[in-house]
Amino acid sequence: MKIIRNNFQQGFTEGVLYSKYLDDVIHTLEQEWRPDKTHTGGTNDNSCVPNGTYRLQAFKRPKNGMIVPTLYNNDLGVYRSLIELPPEGGRFLILMHPGNTVRDIVGCICCGTWKKHPGHVGSSRDAQALVLQAFNAGDKELIIESVDTKEIYVPGAE
């Protein structure tokens, strides 16, 4: 899978998700980039993750039993779980799950099959089913890039 981030606003970041297993357009919504002074993963619970390549793994949400992908790349300061965090900290449990606005996510990524206006995606459960379809078909990697000069840059990740 690949997300191309293409809209950077105060409060949110938007993009488009592509997969070789999908014909549909999937719109993505994340919080805006907020760097952290102690690690490269961005501010916990208040930021999108840095651009880069992530591994995807299935995660069962305790609240409702829904299976969603979680993403991680230790070199970018994004870990699978709290127990993997180094002393300087980092991000963990970054999920791709249903949601329509940034109020529905805490540092995660939500997807929709359509976009009514900036900062809002629609039909997130339909989009989530498509994301899981691609994941279950073998898409176990997520590449995140930006299309313009608002590159979400991580020193040393060139």
- Backbone phi and psi for residue 129, each to the nearest 5 degrees, phi listed first: -65, -40
98 DSSP assignment: -
Q: Name the residue ranges covered by the structural domains of the chain.
A: 2-146
Please check whether residue 127 is in contact with residue 113, taking contact to mean a CB–CB distance below 8 angstroms.
yes
Mean pLDDT by 10-residue block, N- to C-terminus, for the chain (158 residues)? 93 95 95 90 92 95 91 96 93 95 94 92 96 96 83 50
Name the residue among 46, 28, 41, 146 with its Cα closest to residue 106: 46
- Determine the pLDDT at residue 63: 86
The Cα–Cα gap between 58 and 100 comes to: 21
Estimate to the nearest angstrom the gap between the alpha carbon of 38 and the chain centroid: 21
